[in-house]
Amino acid sequence: MVNNFNFYSPTEVIFGKGAQCSTGKYIKKHGGTKVLVIHGSNRVLKNGLMDEIRASMKEEELAYELLGGVVPNPRLSKVYEGIELGKKMQADFILAVGGGSVIDTAKAVAYGLAEKDKDVWTLFEHTRTAEKCLPVASVLTIAAAGSETSMGAVITNEETKEKRAYDDNLARPKFAIMNPALTIELSDYQTQSGCTDIMMHTMERYFTNGGNMEITDSIAEGLLRTVMTNAKILHANPQDYDARAEVMWAGSLAHNNLTGCGNAGGDFATHMLEHEIGGMFDVTHGAGLAAVWPSWAKYVYKNALPRFVRYAVNVMQVDPEGTDEEIALKGIAAMEEFYHSIGMPVNMKELGVTPTDRQIHEMAVRCAKACGGQKGSAKILCQDDMEEIYRLAL
């Protein structure tokens, strides 16, 4: 049965070589005059990207300040730092230059500046809902999170080790500058972690119970096959611009909810399980997803067997002979082989973390709390289920 849905994707995308040189024009178009520019490492300063962005802002007579130092699994302390800087300069526009961590930080700063009398972390604790948000935009340098066109942001509270998400259309970016050439200098590990994250955003919406839509399934399956093909190309030849373009555009399509239209709601249990691993051990998000997904899949596949069979045949292209259970398990095994083929882990040991029994229990408790007690669509998971999946992933 096809479910009702609302599809809202207002972000303007400027895609292609040299697109970053028009950043200032688009900031001005969307009302910005005093721009807080947030970035991560000094890579964007050393490679000339920031110079191009500054020149474009100067041409449009825009005032700006820079805030660097955003790290993977972006920290709440950096968000607070950005809010304070934004207050001092009276920022009216937030520009992220980077990947998902930078964009998520920018969104959180934008919330904090729009409601200066409220603690932004309470949004991520889900004790209140945002009423306002400053406009946000991005110059994308990593294809992975899809935050450049999504409503979501994920921030880590380094004091409590909690990694929490907040979703609100108020933070949908006004525009996204997407030049695939800006991702060429990434390491293979970063590239493949990004490809894994892109695929998982689609898979979270694909493995559901309660109804799906054929056109949406076909889009999702095509996107997954395309990312897998181009991930392997980039593993062998990281300079391939066309492959990077395919992956970059897939990253946006995977997380603007196009691949969830008409289904019964996403699963997202794998993401929530990984958030606790990332919060506790500070691992790369995409790699963490790869490490926990096989154990999640083996735990839940019987509860969504038709979806796993379809995935095995249409995406992993396994031999459709055998029982449905055999086909589903072949699909999961093929996914593990794919992860290994691009240098991704399939368990926590390969990820480089070995949590103790106490840590596993603590992650399960925190995951259940963050989910409001339960999470999932392929199979609804409670705390005991989450703990078992963590143990299977050792």
Contacts of the segment 331-337: beta carbons below 8 A, 24+ positions apart: 332/294, 332/297, 332/298, 332/301, 332/308, 335/293, 335/294, 335/297, 336/294
Q: Which helix (H) or strand (E) covers residue 257, if one does?
A: none
- Residues 32, 173, single domain; the answer is yes
pLDDT at 264: 82
Alpha-carbon distance of 250 to 362, in angstroms, equals 35
Residue 19 domain boundaries: 12-182
**What is the band of 265 on the pLDDT scale with cuts at 50, 70, 90?**
confident
- Residues 202, 132, single domain; the answer is no
- Residues 229, 252, single domain; the answer is yes
- Residues in contact with 205: Cβ distance below 8 Å, sequence separation at least 6, in sequence order: 220, 257, 259, 260, 263, 266, 267
Backbone angles phi, psi at 232, to 5 degrees: -65, -40
Block residue for tokens 């946006």: 252
Q: Rounded to the nearest 10 degrees, what angle do helices 305-314 and 214-236 cross at?
A: 50
pLDDT at 211: 85
Domain CATH for 280? 1.20.1090.10
Does 125 map to a domain?
yes
Tell which of 149, 182, 215 closes a domain. 182
Q: Which helix (H) or strand (E) covers residue 90, if one does?
A: none
- Residues 175, 195, single domain; the answer is no
Residue 146 has pLDDT above 80, yes or no: yes
Does 270 map to a domain?
yes
For residues 25 and 60, the answer to whether their CB atoms sit within 8 Å is yes
Question: Which amino acid belongs to residue 18?
Answer: G
Does 345 map to a domain?
yes
Tell which of 146, 163, 182 closes a domain. 182
- Residues 40, 177, single domain; the answer is yes
Residue 43 has pLDDT above 80, yes or no: yes
Residue 1 has pLDDT above 80, yes or no: no
In the chain, the number of structural domains is 2
Does 2 map to a domain?
no
- Residues 166, 251, single domain; the answer is no
- Residues 306, 168, single domain; the answer is no
Structure tokens at 132: 């306002």
Does 47 map to a domain?
yes
- Residues 178, 193, single domain; the answer is no
Identify the DSSP state of 75: B
Does 7 map to a domain?
no
- Residues 272, 310, single domain; the answer is yes
pLDDT at 210: 85
- Residues 178, 214, single domain; the answer is no
Does 3 map to a domain?
no
The predicted model scores a pTM of: 0.95
pLDDT at 116: 96
Does 5 map to a domain?
no
Question: Which amino acid belongs to residue 222?
Answer: G
- Residues 59, 21, single domain; the answer is yes
Block residue for tokens 């937030």: 94
CA dihedral 145, 375, 370, 204 (to 10 degrees): 0
Domain CATH for 154? 3.40.50.1970
Tell which of 123, 153, 182 closes a domain. 182
- Residues 151, 216, single domain; the answer is no
pLDDT (tens digit per residue) in 277-325: 999 999 999 999 999 999 999 999 999 999 999 999 999 999 999 999 9
Alpha helix segments (H runs only) across the chain: 23-29, 43-46, 49-59, 76-89, 100-114, 121-124, 188-206, 214-236, 241-255, 269-281, 285-300, 305-314, 324-341, 348-351, 357-370, 383-392
Q: What is the mean pLDDT of residues 86-91?
A: 98
pLDDT (tens digit per residue) in 210-261: 888 999 999 999 999 999 999 999 999 999 999 999 999 999 999 999 999 9
For residue 159, the Cα-to-chain-centroid distance in whole angstroms is 23
Alpha-carbon distance of 101 to 82, in angstroms, equals 14
Q: Rounded to the nearest 10 degrees, what angle do helices 214-236 and 241-255 cross at?
A: 150
For residues 144 and 28, the answer to whether their CB atoms sit within 8 Å is no
